[in-house]
Amino acid sequence: MPIHVLSDAVVSRIAAGEVVERPASVVKEMIENALDAAASEIKIECLEGGRRMIRITDNGHGIRSSEIELAFAHHATSKLQSADDLDTIKTLGFRGEALASIASVSVVSCASRHVDDPVGSLIRVDGGVTVEQDQIGRPQGTTMTVEHLFGRIPARLKFLKSNQTERGHLDGVVMRYAMAYPQVRFALTQDGRSVIQTSGNGSLRDVLIEVTGSLDVQKMAAIEQPESAESNHSPRIRVNGFVGLPELTHNSRSKVAIFVNGRPVQDVRLATAVVQAYHTLLMVGRYPVAVVMVQVPSDEVDVNVHPAKSEVRFTDANAVFGAIQRAVRNTLLTHSPVTEAPSSIFDVENRIPTPAIGGSTAFAIQLAADQTPLSGSHSWERVGIQRNAVPGAQFAVPDRSDVSRSGLGPATLTPAPQPGAPIPHPGTHLPALRLLGQLALTYIIAEGPEGLYLIDQHAAHERVLFERVMAQVDLGTVVSQPLLDPVPVEVPPDSARVLDDQLPTLRDLGFDMDRFGGNTFLVRSVPSVMMQDDVAGSIREIVADIESSETPLRKDMEARVLRRVCKRMAIKAGRVLALAEMQALVRDLEACESPRTCPHGRPTMIQISSSALEKQFGRMG
């Protein structure tokens, strides 16, 4: 096949593929044009996730009547005059490709009036071809209407996700620019419903309240950049924004937003700088919530890296990394100083450390339920390893048969056998076990035919609760408990849309909740296993789990929600268990289909074989 020059139509389609990935890409480019035009108000309207229609109206300086057709030509821009300008880009847009690319894959109508023109202009472009142009009367600013995106490119259209997913991407784009430009009033309406409405008063905190919720913002602190020799006079790199305190976390890095010179960027290295600033302050598997604004001299950052302009390169990347890390760390230490960890483990109930006995750590535990003694005439008893069949143990152990205060959950307790008696084995995946006691208030010690077993009481109870509730779901008999006072739960706009779509699934799982206004939901009933839990916190964690799911399958979504519920409701490490409680928990675990792992895949138990013990004691040659 001979070499030839591609037609303008093919070139336009190729360029559009680089710039316009989905409806959110269109919104991004249009918002950037509006901001470059010094707009103070930007209104976005979308239908069907942007597939059917996207309309963006701004009050910027507008497009001149003599230039409105030229604006849709390839590589036409007012933001660059020469190649030297690429070294100091100060605008969000500069390629001159956005309008031409969007018009080549949709039908675009542009109505605009420049601040210096007496009348406005209207142009309509279909598939890159101008089909209408006229003068009109209108106020200063621009209105761009994009219809039938990818309507003539079925291959691209079919690869768009569901309306819910595309709406979520649109929400995310608008939220990021609203945070980057708090002095601009943003309004987003999707399918006739107001999703985001900022005041434009210049306060980033107020924007965060709108897009993340007031409860989360209460747990955030303004970034305080530490003074340094370099920053005494006109610092080269400035960092500001807000970071979540250690109690505000997420299950992924998706809530870390980075902006460079007002431009939202995707930079793993910069996000890592934020995460590393939380070193030792967060639990493993949890990530921070942060909005970090970085200001760098324009001649020290290259934004001409990717057509979508979401990636940047720095002249001194290490300096930017260090500035972010120091600023975030300084803020965290100022607002939540790190305290020295206690030398002993504390229970979630009232516990104070007492002197060690025989060189071992001992604990004084008070029953929080009614402040009555655990046993004997003293209000406090030392508890370490529970003495069931362990002669010579160094700890006094409460002999409680009453388990009504155990809080073990919905597990059915049966009369406990005598200490040391084998647990009946109903033919499940576990061998018959003989309970020996409790270790470190976390692990149940048992003996089996193959050696010693340590059972994680929290992981084991998670598995028991999960299989029990899943069985109820399969039978359609989930037990739901009305709340005495309905609980309002406020979530970010993108999370509210996700929650709207999953309300039928959540109702089948025992949650009775609906919109209460804005992005607030009113929870009236919850699954019975959640009655003693933080309902609002649970709902937010459930939404985060749903958002991180990569599958829309209902069964997978149900399992994801129930795993979160069971994790919160399972007995915790550090909880004293009576013999009857341990016996009941192990029996219920034996009855499970998958007793060896919790619903998240963590092992419920480990085994130390008899041969390994004999080897450690030198009984094997």
Q: Report whether CATH 1.10.357.10 matches the domain 8-199.
A: no
pLDDT at 180 over 90: yes
Q: Count CB-CB contacts under 10 A for residue 195.
A: 23
- Report residue 127's pLDDT band, with 50, 70 and 90 as the boundaries: confident
CB 269 within 8 A of CB 223: no
Overall average pLDDT of the 103-131 stretch: 93
Please classify residue 207 by burial: count the beta carbons closer than 10 Å to its beta carbon, then call 0-12 exposed, 13-18 middle and 19+ buried.
Answer: buried
Overall average pLDDT of the 498-521 stretch: 88
Provide the pLDDT for residue 381: 33
Overall average pLDDT of the 305-325 stretch: 83
Provide the pLDDT for residue 341: 37
Provide the pLDDT for residue 20: 84
Residues near 305 by beta carbon (within 8 Å), at least 6 away in sequence: 311, 312, 313
Highest mean pLDDT among 224-238, 404-418, 530-544: 530-544
Name the class of domain 219-335.
alpha beta
Provide the pLDDT for residue 85: 56
Q: Report whether CATH 3.30.1370.100 matches the domain 479-569.
A: yes
Distance of alpha carbon 167 from alpha carbon 47, whole angstroms? 9
How open is the CA angle 367-368-372, to the nearest 5 degrees?
Answer: 50
CB 301 within 8 A of CB 260: yes
Provide the pLDDT for residue 18: 59
Provide the pLDDT for residue 53: 96
Overall average pLDDT of the 534-557 stretch: 78
Provide the pLDDT for residue 309: 64
Query: What is the rounded radius of gyration, in angstroms, for the C-alpha atoms of the chain?
Result: 31
pTM of the model: 0.66
Task: Using a pLDDT cut of 90, give the percent of the chain over it.
Answer: 38
Sheet holding 434-439, edge to edge: 434-439, 443-448, 451-456, 605-609
Provide the pLDDT for residue 349: 36
E strands, 303-450, are: 313-314, 351-357, 360-365, 381-382, 434-439, 443-448
Provide the pLDDT for residue 214: 82
CB 181 within 8 A of CB 175: no
Averaged pLDDT of the chain: 78
Overall average pLDDT of the 174-201 stretch: 94
Residues near 328 by beta carbon (within 8 Å), at least 6 away in sequence: 223, 239, 243, 273, 274, 277, 278, 290, 292
Measured in whole angstroms, the distance separating CA 328 from the mean position of its chain's CA atoms is 19
Nearest to 586 by CA among 601, 571, 608: 571
Q: Describe the crossing of helices 268-276 and 317-335 by its angle, rounded to 10 degrees.
A: 30
Least confident of 138-142, 321-325, 421-425: 421-425
DSSP string, 307-322: TT----EETTHHHHHH
Provide the pLDDT for residue 80: 54
Distance of alpha carbon 45 from alpha carbon 68, whole angstroms? 22
Least confident of 236-245, 393-402, 525-534, 608-617: 393-402
Nearest to 523 by CA among 547, 499, 549: 499
Distance of alpha carbon 231 from alpha carbon 2, whole angstroms? 60
Give CATH for domain 351-461+574-616.
Answer: 3.30.1540.20
Provide the pLDDT for residue 355: 33
For the chain, the structural domain boundaries read 8-199, 219-335, 351-461+574-616, 479-569
Q: Describe the crossing of helices 579-590 and 457-475 by its angle, rounded to 10 degrees.
A: 50
Distance of alpha carbon 365 from alpha carbon 325, whole angstroms? 41
pLDDT at 405 over 50: no
The DSSP code for 227 is P
- Report residue 552's pLDDT band, with 50, 70 and 90 as the boundaries: low
Least confident of 35-39, 183-187, 319-323, 362-366: 362-366
pLDDT at 33 over 70: yes
Provide the pLDDT for residue 380: 29
Least confident of 213-217, 255-259, 507-511, 546-550: 546-550
- Report residue 128's pLDDT band, with 50, 70 and 90 as the boundaries: confident
pLDDT at 40 over 90: yes
pLDDT at 187 over 70: yes
- Report residue 378's pLDDT band, with 50, 70 and 90 as the boundaries: very low
Phi-psi region of 385 (alpha: psi -120 to 50; beta: other; left: phi over 0): beta
